[in-house]
Amino acid sequence: MPAAALPIRRLLLALLIVAIWGSNFVAIKLALHDLPPLLLVTLRFIFVAVPAVFFLPRPAVPVRQLLVYGFSMFGFQFGFMFLGMKLGVSAGLASLILQFQVFVTLGLAVVFLKETVAWPQVVGALTATAGFVVVGLHTGGDVTVAGFLCLLLAAVSWAIGNLTSKRLGKVNALALVVWGSLPVAGAMAIASLVLEGPTLILHSLTHVGLTAVLSTAYTVYFSTLVAYSLWSWLLSHHPATTVTPFALLVPVFGMITSALFLGESLPAWKLLAATLVIAGLSLTIFGAGLIRILRSASVQPDSSF
């Protein structure tokens, strides 16, 4: 069956999640001023896992699936994302590139979960893509090739995490996030020690500013513990083809908050791109339901005579 629209309360919940994720790119950019990317990933998931891991029982899922979820949803996604932003991708543009995950997730859901994608979802995706093209035509020097490739890899990793979360079924979403973060924290600590080195790590930790501390706290407690728990809960109760298109709004919030807090420009072409993305999202989410309503109305007998 084609994906159905979310009930109004869950729709508002999805909007809250993507608003948190959109503004999170500002927090990441601020934290990266003082902390190298792999160290930042390490700190993020240490504080996500500890002390909550001592109070929440491990979710009743196989260890292998828990590891796949943790490293796809968190480890590789944020490792590549932070690295890409450090290599020269602006916060607003990073929030846009990462939404490649929506299309990868839809494709994976069709292939592996046998979910159906209706033609309005395809048209909606193409409309949103037009918004991406508008941004691409005006990026200029806002993105490097290396940074762009890292963000694409982060998007693919997020899509795999979405699929894994959906296949886990109805589990405690907060426990899943916390326990999925624990092995990521350990692995990223080793990666940071090997690739970034103890000298840079020590210097960064002893010279970190208050802005970076508060930004890291935002990424830990709001973007990860709150938003990812709610996202996993939504995915466990609704088809992936219904939930994941909401992530198309992340770059809208990302561009707006980047303009407000980082001084990134917000010219008319960015507003046009945001309009196209919102229109594409609306068609993707509500198009199939609207068509069903119109078809139902068209077959109703005319009782006016």
The reply to whether 120 falls in a domain is yes
What is the rounded distance in angstroms from the CA atom of residue 155 to the CA atom of residue 272? Answer: 23
pLDDT at residue 288 in the model = 67
The reply to whether 60 falls in a domain is no
The reply to whether 94 falls in a domain is yes
Residue 303 predicted with pLDDT over 60: no
How many domains is the chain built from? 1
Residue 214 predicted with pLDDT over 80: yes
Mean pLDDT for 71-99 is 90
CA 222 and chain centroid, separation: 13
Mean pLDDT for 197-213 is 96
Lowest mean pLDDT among 83-92, 112-121, 138-147, 233-242: 138-147
Residue 52 predicted with pLDDT over 60: yes
Residues 230/18, Cβ–Cβ less than 8 Å? no
Domain that residue 245 falls in: 8-34+86-174+207-288
The reply to whether 49 falls in a domain is no
Percent of the chain residues topping a pLDDT of 70: 91
Residues 121/245, Cβ–Cβ less than 8 Å? yes
Residue 249 predicted with pLDDT over 90: no
pTM, full prediction: 0.81
The reply to whether 199 falls in a domain is no
Residue 208 predicted with pLDDT over 60: yes
Q: 116 φ, ψ to 5°? A: -100, 135
**What would the pLDDT profile of 152-167 be if each residue is shown by its tens digit?**
899 999 999 988 888 8
The reply to whether 77 falls in a domain is no
**Confidence bin at 264 (pLDDT 50/70/90):** confident
Burial annotation 51-78 (CB, 10 A radius, 16+ → b, else e): ebbeebeebebeeeebbbbbbbbbbbbb
The reply to whether 244 falls in a domain is yes
> H/E element holding 59?
none
The reply to whether 223 falls in a domain is yes
**Confidence bin at 301 (pLDDT 50/70/90):** low
